[in-house]
């Protein structure tokens, strides 16, 4: 079987089809729009310009619901007055709210003070009752000691006041601090070096006014007359 052959020769140039032996005319470019005419030179007087501006302003006012410029100004003034009144009202409300808040805070503080005073009164009455039953005299120190012991407890625990005071009374230093003094025994024997009191012993002589001073009277306690008399008697001197 024979192999196919490939034509590698240069193709002939393309030919242009002509009409009647002439080339076709070139394509016609799209035409551009005609140029706009120059603006008309409009000249207006001042009166005409003002009249046109007034009519334009009136048309704009009517478009927004206003019959005239004075009506617009009146509504603007009313809006300003309403805004000022609203601002004043809000400020008044804030002032009233602040005053109310201050009054509430004052009432809370008074309530807290009363509650604290009531708790203090109950605590004082409770501790004083135990002090009376246990014979504790210094109740003020007992309240201080109970409050200190209660503060040292873990949160949520309560102090047994009676048991605490009884435990304190077992310690001599707290017993003395609570004002409890041990009574002194009255049936103690007299020391050996003292002599018993004789109820029948004569009483010492009392000094006689103008007379000789008593021998038991100390010299420092004598008057000038008694001291002079004492000197005369001691030295056997007769006054001249």
Find where tokens 């203090």 sit. 120
Output the pLDDT for position 61. 78
Stretch (H or E) spanning 230: helix 224-235
In this prediction, residues 5-28 reach a mean pLDDT of: 57
Of 59-63, 114-118, 231-235, give the range with the top mean pLDDT. Answer: 114-118
Give yes or no for a contact between 214 and 205, defined as CB atoms under 8 angstroms apart.
yes
Q: How far apart are CA 212 and CA 223, in angstroms?
A: 11
Domain segments of the chain as ranges: 49-108, 115-177
Joined together, the tokens standing for residue 178 give 């609570």
* Residue that is written with structure tokens 């014979």 in the block: 135
Please give the model's pTM, rounded to 2 decimal places.
0.37
- What would the mean pLDDT of 117-141 be, rounded to a whole number? 92
């Amino acid at each position: 079987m024979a192999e196919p052959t490939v034509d590698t020769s240069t193709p002939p140039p393309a030919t242009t089809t002509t009409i009647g032996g002439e080339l076709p005319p070139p394509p016609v470019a799209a035409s551009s729009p005609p140029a706009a005419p120059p603006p008309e030179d409009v000249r207006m007087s001042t009166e005409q310009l003002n009249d046109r501006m007034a009519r334009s302003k009136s048309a704009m006012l009517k478009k927004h619901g206003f019959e005239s410029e004075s009506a617009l100004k009146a509504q603007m003034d009313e809006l300003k007055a309403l805004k000022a009144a609203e601002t004043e009202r809000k400020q008044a409300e804030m002032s009233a709210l602040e005053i109310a808040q201050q009054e509430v805070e004052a009432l809370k503080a008074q309530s807290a003070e009363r509650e604290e005073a009531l708790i203090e009164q109950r605590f004082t009455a409770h501790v004083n009752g135990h002090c009376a039953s246990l014979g504790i005299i210094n109740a003020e120190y007992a309240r201080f000691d109970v409050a200190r012991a209660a503060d040292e407890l873990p949160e949520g625990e309560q102090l047994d006041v009676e048991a605490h005071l009884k435990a304190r009374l077992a310690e001599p230093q707290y017993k003395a601090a609570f004002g409890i003094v041990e009574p002194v025994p009255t049936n103690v024997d007299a020391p050996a070096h003292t002599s018993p009191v004789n109820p029948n012993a004569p009483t010492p002589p009392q000094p006689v006014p103008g007379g000789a001073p008593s021998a038991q009277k100390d010299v420092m306690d004598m008057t000038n007359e008694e001291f002079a008399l004492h000197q005369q008697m001691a030295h056997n001197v007769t006054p001249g």
